[in-house]
């Protein structure tokens, strides 16, 4: 392990964590220690260290207090905040609703929602904020497929609360005093208000599903172990509310940010965009997009994989050591923090040729193990990955079959490390319906 940056330079880490690690790869390599007083933080962009922390010796590393403590303080107990036996039980329970088969059964609803929202974008006079628009769309999809609830009029407000909540958690996590000063600038009051709103929504969802529940949905799974239906239960109303927040937060923002970066990259690379359009025209044609198309568009899949390499929405995996450990020549002490940056790992020139270039074809071959982790790794791999990928591919197929876009941004567009890896500006996009009926372009 190389010596890390100076104290002054290390403090820049908190302003844009993953980008800071990537920018310092050439100086310090894929593992280096930050010079921050009173706490040992290691910056990681190395697949061997990632595998050790998240897979080989994962029992010695828990979700870090740097971020996850604030998530738990804001949201409460849920799959995203649990550790130990509670986490194992909840993950096993919820996996019933996140199998490949269950995801495939939800794709008709994905297609229906995409059609409605894309048509709406096309009618707007002003350009859409693309990430917010996709967040609103994803809220509609996840409310329906996970919680058996459909209320389009609420999606805008829910998407806004989710975005504000993730920004608040990131803000509170940056410095230890911020959770207390959040009362001075109104952030704490705003997240309390959003929690109350989601609580009322939870009551409505529970009542709706007690009357007629969707078999196999997440809400049915949660209610099956709740005090609404079971005398000795491990789940109550607040847990259901917290799970609603966690799943909507993780599922809407990450996929929306990922789609924003895909569109930005296609905007920057018109020739690749044309290849994607050609594939959609050849395979889908003018017929309606069907669920099976999520698995029949190989180049579109390569484009998505490469976009998630360059701009992984879930850009950081942060763990604290519980006991002493040895990683190579590094002696790990209890309490040491490992910030594993998938953003920096995906751009590490030791493992990627021309790492900063957009080259979808590179994924025609499998990358080296643990060098590509857009959905995490180990036991905490994203529970929604079987739904997220086909959702995003279908969105691309449906959009480019009927529409084109014009994006207006001020270059350079810089990724910013928050709860997700967001661009430093809105991706304002005008949606244009394709003129010709028999061609995509």
Q: For the segment 272-326, what is each residue's pLDDT rounded down to a tens digit?
A: 999 999 999 999 999 999 999 999 999 999 999 999 999 999 999 999 999 999 9
Q: What is the DSSP letter of 439?
A: -
Output the CA–CA distances (angstroms, integers) from residue 113 to 6, 162, 246, 301, 394, in the order listed: 50, 19, 21, 21, 11
Pull the structure tokens for residue 119: 């048509």
Examine the pLDDT at 177 and tell me if it is beyond 80.
Answer: no
Question: What sections of 182-328 are H helices per DSSP?
Answer: 187-211, 218-224, 237-248, 254-268, 270-283, 298-310
Q: What is the pLDDT of residue 83?
A: 84
Q: What is the pLDDT of residue 62?
A: 92
pLDDT band at residue 35 under the 50/70/90 scheme:
confident
Picking from 344, 315, 306, the residue whose alpha carbon sits closest to that of residue 423 is: 315
Q: Which residue has the higher pLDDT, 268 or 196?
A: 268
Q: What is the pLDDT of residue 261?
A: 98
Q: How open is the CA angle 381-21-345, to the nearest 5 degrees?
A: 40
Q: What is the pLDDT of residue 436?
A: 62
Q: What is the pLDDT of residue 171?
A: 78
pLDDT band at residue 228 under the 50/70/90 scheme:
confident
What span, in angstroms and rounded, lies between the C-alpha atoms of 275 and 299? 8
- For residue range 354-372, list pLDDT tens digits in order: 999 999 999 999 999 999 9
Q: What is the pLDDT of residue 437?
A: 55
Pull the structure tokens for residue 219: 């809400």
Examine the pLDDT at 84 and tell me if it is beyond 90.
Answer: no
Pull the structure tokens for residue 421: 């890896």
Q: What is the DSSP letter of 232?
A: S
pLDDT band at residue 128 under the 50/70/90 scheme:
very high
Phi/psi of residue 248, nearest 5 degrees: -70, -40
Q: What is the pLDDT of residue 230?
A: 86
CATH architecture of the domain with range 7-433: Orthogonal Bundle (1.10)
pLDDT band at residue 11 under the 50/70/90 scheme:
confident
Picking from 208, 242, 240, the residue whose alpha carbon sits closest to that of residue 224 is: 240
Residue in the block written with tokens 């929604």: 384
Question: What sections of 106-217 are H helices per DSSP?
Answer: 107-123, 130-147, 155-174, 178-181, 187-211
pLDDT band at residue 410 under the 50/70/90 scheme:
very high
Q: What's the mean pLDDT when you consider all of the chain?
A: 91
Strand boundaries in 272-401, DSSP class E: 316-321, 325-327, 330-332, 337-341
Half-sphere exposure of 388 (CA within 13 A, CB side): 25
Pull the structure tokens for residue 228: 């609404």
pLDDT band at residue 179 under the 50/70/90 scheme:
confident
Examine the pLDDT at 440 and tell me if it is beyond 70.
Answer: no
Q: What is the pLDDT of residue 66?
A: 78
Q: What is the pLDDT of residue 185?
A: 82
Examine the pLDDT at 439 and tell me if it is beyond 60.
Answer: no
What span, in angstroms and rounded, lies between the C-alpha atoms of 116 and 119? 5
Q: In 3-state terms, what secondary structure has residue 150?
A: coil
36 φ/ψ sector (left φ>0, alpha ψ -120 to 50, else beta): beta
- For residue range 190-212, list pLDDT tens digits in order: 888 888 888 899 999 999 898 88
Q: What is the pLDDT of residue 321?
A: 96
Pull the structure tokens for residue 24: 């310092």
Q: What is the DSSP letter of 293?
A: G
Q: How do strand 337-341 and strand 41-44 relate by DSSP bridges?
A: parallel
Other CB atoms within 10 A of residue 171 CB: 18
Q: In 3-state terms, what secondary structure has residue 301?
A: helix
């Amino acid at each position: 392990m190389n010596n890390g940056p100076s104290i002054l330079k290390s403090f820049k880490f908190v302003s844009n964590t993953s980008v800071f690690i990537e920018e310092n790869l050439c100086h310090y390599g894929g593992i280096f220690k930050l010079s921050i007083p009173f706490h040992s933080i290691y910056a990681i962009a190395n697949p061997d260290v990632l595998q050790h922390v998240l897979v080989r010796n994962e029992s010695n590393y828990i979700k870090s207090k740097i971020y996850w403590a604030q998530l738990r303080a804001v949201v409460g107990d849920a799959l995203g905040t649990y550790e130990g036996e509670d986490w194992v039980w909840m993950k096993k329970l919820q996996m019933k609703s996140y199998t490949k088969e269950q995801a495939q059964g939800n794709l008709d609803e994905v297609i229906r929602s995409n059609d409605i929202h894309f048509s709406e974008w096309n009618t707007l006079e002003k350009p859409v904020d693309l990430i917010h628009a996709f967040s609103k769309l994803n809220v509609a999809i996840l409310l329906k497929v996970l919680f058996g609830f459909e209320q389009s009029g609420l999606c805008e407000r829910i998407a806004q609360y989710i975005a504000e909540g993730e920004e608040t958690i990131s803000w509170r996590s940056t410095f230890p005093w911020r959770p207390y000063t959040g009362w001075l600038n109104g952030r704490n009051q705003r997240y309390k208000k959003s929690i109350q709103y989601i609580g009322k929504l939870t009551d409505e969802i529970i009542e709706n599903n007690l009357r007629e529940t969707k078999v196999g949905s997440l809400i049915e799974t949660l209610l099956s172990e709740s005090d609404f239906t079971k005398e000795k239960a491990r789940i109550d109303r607040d847990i259901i509310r917290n799970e609603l927040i966690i799943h909507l937060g993780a599922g809407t923002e990450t996929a929306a940010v990922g789609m924003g970066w895909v569109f930005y990259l296609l905007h920057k690379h018109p020739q690749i965009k044309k290849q994607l359009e050609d594939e959609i025209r050849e395979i889908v044609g003018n017929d309606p997009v069907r669920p099976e198309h999520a698995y029949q568009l190989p180049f579109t899949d390569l484009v998505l994989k490469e976009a998630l390499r360059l701009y992984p929405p879930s850009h950081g995996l942060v763990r604290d050591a519980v006991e002493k450990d040895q990683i190579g020549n590094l002696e790990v002490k209890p309490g040491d923090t490992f910030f594993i940056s998938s953003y920096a790992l995906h751009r590490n020139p030791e493992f990627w040729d021309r790492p900063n270039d957009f080259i979808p074809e590179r994924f025609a071959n499998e990358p080296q193990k643990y060098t590509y982790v857009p959905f995490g790794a180990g036991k905490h791999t994203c529970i929604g990955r079987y739904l997220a990928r086909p959702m995003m591919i279908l969105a691309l197929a449906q959009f480019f079959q009927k529409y084109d876009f014009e994006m207006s941004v001020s270059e350079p567009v810089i990724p910013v490390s928050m709860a997700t890896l967001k661009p430093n500006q809105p991706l304002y996009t005008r949606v244009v319906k394709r003129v010709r009926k028999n061609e995509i372009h």
